[in-house]
Structure 1
Amino acid sequence: MRIFISTGEVSGDLQGALLIAALQRQVVAAGLELEIVALGGEKMAAAGAHLLGNTSSIGSMGLFESLPYVLPTIQVQRKAIAHLKENPPDLVVLIDYMTPNLGIGTYLRKHMPQVPVVYYIAPQEWVWSVSLRNTSRIVSFTDKLLAIFSEEARYYQENGAKVSWVGHPLVDRMENAPSREAARESLGIAPEQIAIALLPASRRQELKYLLPVIFQAAQNIQAKLPEVHFWIPLSLEIYRESLEKAIQRYNLRATVVSGQQQEVMAAADLAITKSGTVNLELALLNVPQVVTYRLHPVTAWIARNILKGSIPFASPTNLVVMREIVPEFLQERATPENLTQAAMELLLNPSLKEQTLTDYDQMRQCLGEVGVCDRAAEEILQMIPDNAMFVI
Structure 2
Amino acid sequence: MRIFISTGEVSGDMQAALLVAALRRQAEIKGYSLEITALGGPQTAAAGAQLLGDTTAIGAVGIWESLPYFIPTLQMQARVRRYLQENPVDVAILIDYMGPNIGIGNLIKGRFPEIPIIYYIAPQEWVWSLGSRNTNQIVNFSDRILAIFPQEARYFAAKGAKVTWVGHPLIDRITAYPSRHQARENLGIATEEIAIALLPASRQQEIRYLMPIIFQAAATLQAQFPLVRFWIPLSLEKYRADIERGILQYNLRASLVENKTDVLAAADLAIAKSGTVNLELALLEVPQVVVYRVSQITAWVARHLLHFSIPFMAPPNLVQMKEIVPELLQDEVTPEAIVNQVIQLFPNSTKREQMLTEYRQMRQVLGGEGAGDRAAIEILNAGKT
TM-score interval, normalised by the smaller of the two chains: over 0.9
Task: Give the Å deviation of 1:298.
Answer: 1.4
Equivalent position of 1:243 in the other structure? 243
Task: Give the Å deviation of 1:68.
Answer: 0.8
Alignment of 1:16-27 (within 5 A): 16-27=16-27
User: C-alpha separation between the residues in 2 aligned to 1:86 and 1:348?
Assistant: 58
Equivalent position of 1:5 in the other structure? 5
Equivalent position of 1:105 in the other structure? 105
| AA aligned opposite 1:356 | M
Identity %: 60
SS in 1 for 2:352: helix
Does 1:75 pair with 2:75? yes
User: C-alpha separation between the residues in 2 aligned to 1:111 and 1:86?
Assistant: 13
Equivalent position of 2:45 in the other structure? 45
User: C-alpha separation between the residues in 2 aligned to 1:379 and 1:224?
Assistant: 53
1:27-85 deviation per Cα after TM superposition (whole angstroms, max 9, x unaligned): 11222200000000000101110001011111000000001111111111111111111
| AA aligned opposite 1:360 | Y
SS in 1 for 2:181: helix
Structure 1 stretches lacking a partner, 5+ long: none
Equivalent position of 1:227 in the other structure? 227
1:205-260 deviation per Cα after TM superposition (whole angstroms, max 9, x unaligned): 000000011101101101110221100000111111000000000010100001x1
Q: Does the Cα contact within 8 Å between 2:91 and 2:115 map onto a contact in 1?
A: yes
Structure 2 stretches lacking a partner, 5+ long: none
Equivalent position of 1:317 in the other structure? 316
| TM-score, with structure 2 as normaliser | 0.99
| AA aligned opposite 2:318 | L
Alignment of 1:113-192 (within 5 A): 113-192=113-192
User: C-alpha separation between the residues in 2 aligned to 1:212 and 1:119?
Assistant: 36
SS in 2 for 1:382: helix
User: C-alpha separation between the residues in 2 aligned to 1:137 and 1:29?
Assistant: 34
SS in 2 for 1:363: helix
Equivalent position of 2:200 in the other structure? 200
SS in 2 for 1:196: strand
Equivalent position of 1:276 in the other structure? 275
Deviant stretches of 4+, over 4 Å: none
Q: Does the Cα contact within 8 Å between 2:119 and 2:145 map onto a contact in 1?
A: yes
1:254-279 deviation per Cα after TM superposition (whole angstroms, max 9, x unaligned): 00001x10110110111000000000
Q: Does the Cα contact within 8 Å between 2:7 and 2:95 map onto a contact in 1?
A: yes
| TM-score, with structure 1 as normaliser | 0.97
Task: Give the Å deviation of 1:129.
Answer: 3.4
SS in 2 for 1:18: helix
Q: Aligned residue pairs: how many?
A: 385
RMSD between aligned residues:
0.9
Equivalent position of 1:326 in the other structure? 325
Q: Does the Cα contact within 8 Å between 2:192 and 2:227 map onto a contact in 1?
A: no
| AA aligned opposite 2:140 | S
User: C-alpha separation between the residues in 1 aligned to 2:229 and 2:329?
Assistant: 25
SS in 2 for 1:272: strand
Task: Give the Å deviation of 1:100.
Answer: 1.4
Q: Does the Cα contact within 8 Å between 2:268 and 2:347 map onto a contact in 1?
A: no
